[in-house]
A and B are shown apart, each in its own frame.
Chain A
Amino acid sequence: MIQGIPITHFLVVSVIMFFVGIMGFIIRQNLITILLSVELILNAVVLNFLVFNRYLFPHHLQGQFFGLFIIGVAAAEASMAIALIINIYRRMRHIDPDKIREMKY
């Protein structure tokens, strides 16, 4: 643990980051900014894992490995999402999720 900083301070930061991400997921009207909000959410979760690992179980490494795998999955998710967004833009000339109504080709 770190001298002088209680665990709850770290957790408060990650809670605020997580819910700001969810708020952005609801209010945004552009697929790319929704993707940015998802990255915020994932980042908050990784921070949470590492803080619990360091403060409560410093003799294990489970939290660090879960963080590592989450970052890997986030990279896969971002590249897939961007491929989809570029394909949608090529077909419809916009990326507003409210106006995309048909999934058929």
Chain B
Amino acid sequence: MSLSEIMFYILAAVIIVFSILTVTSRRVLRAAVYLLFVLVATAGMYFLLNYQFMAAVQLTLYAGGIVVLIIFSILLTSHISHRFEKPPLWKILAGGSTFVFGTGLTLWVLLSHVFTPSSQKAMEVNMTEIGNHLLSLNKEGFVLPFEVISILLLATMVAAIIIAKKEDNTKSDEI
């Protein structure tokens, strides 16, 4: 067994165990920390697949940004020691059966299909290549989604500020 295989199975076990703990933990802060473990292990998978840039984005944006944001909002909206009550039985049954049937069906389709890995030479994925592709107008360029997502992020920033800001009570006081 080679080192990358051992690494893959460790990461796979971490991902599966902690993703199940994320959705079953009764304490909300622990669930967020388990999600952090899942995201870091996924970044390890990207390193294993040789996509260093994606792994770095995953670590900084997901594990660094989103999880911190979520933990902030947990601290703002609930007590740290608060425990959830057990969900009602019909919810557990509905969720569990969805999990079992969905996983079974998808795995059945997946394992009965034969994938033929490409034998072509792998493309070198460096920063120059990624930047050229992102801003190119040619056949493999991605300049349109790049612009669309920049507008999306701007709109999100404005909307998040407007939604989360406190209502302005000073005006009515002045009148």
On A, residues with C-beta under 8 Å from B are 1-5, 7-13, 15-17, 19-24, 26-30, 32-33, 35-37, 39-40, 43, 46-47, 50-51, 54-62, 64-65, 67-69, 71-76, 78-80, 82-87, 89-90, 95
For A61, what are the chain B residues with a Cβ–Cβ distance below 8 Å? 123, 125, 129-130, 133, 140
For B140, what are the chain A residues with a Cβ–Cβ distance below 8 Å? 60-62
Partner of B74, one of A20, A32, A47, A90: A32
CA distance A10 to B9 in the complex (A): 10
B58 to A, closest residue via Cβ: A71
Candidate in A15, A23, A83, A87 with the most chain B CB atoms within 10 angstroms: A23
B82 to chain A, nearest CB (A): 10
For A9, what are the chain B residues with a Cβ–Cβ distance below 8 Å? 8, 12
Q: A8-B110, A8-B115, A50-B51 are in contact. Are A86 and B77 (CB under 8 A)?
A: yes
Chain A residues touching B, majority SS: helix
For B161, what are the chain A residues with a Cβ–Cβ distance below 8 Å? 83
Give the B interface residue count (CB, 8 A). Answer: 85
Mask for B21-58, Cβ within 8 A of A = 1, else 0? 01110001001100100110010011011110110011
A3 to chain B, nearest CB (A): 7
B65 to A, closest residue via Cβ: A75
Q: Is B76 an interface residue (CB 8 A)?
A: yes
CA distance A63 to B102 in the complex (A): 24
In the bound complex, do residue A86 and residue B76 qualify as a contact, i.e. CB atoms below 8 Å apart? yes
On B, residues with C-beta under 8 Å from A are 1-2, 4-5, 8, 12, 15-16, 19-20, 22-24, 28, 31-32, 35, 38-39, 42, 45-46, 48-51, 53-54, 57-58, 61-62, 65-66, 69-70, 72-74, 76-78, 84-85, 87, 91-92, 94-96, 98-99, 102-103, 106-107, 110-111, 115-118, 120-123, 125, 129-130, 133-134, 140, 142, 145, 149, 152-153, 156-157, 159-161, 163-164, 166
In the bound complex, do residue A24 and residue B95 qualify as a contact, i.e. CB atoms below 8 Å apart? yes
Partner of A85, one of B77, B92, B116, B123: B77
CA distance A71 to B48 in the complex (A): 19
A59 to B, closest residue via Cβ: B120
Nearest 5 A/B pairs, CB to CB: A24-B23, A26-B95, A27-B95, A83-B164, A58-B122
CA distance A8 to B70 in the complex (A): 32
B159 to chain A, nearest CB (A): 6
A20 to chain B, nearest CB (A): 5
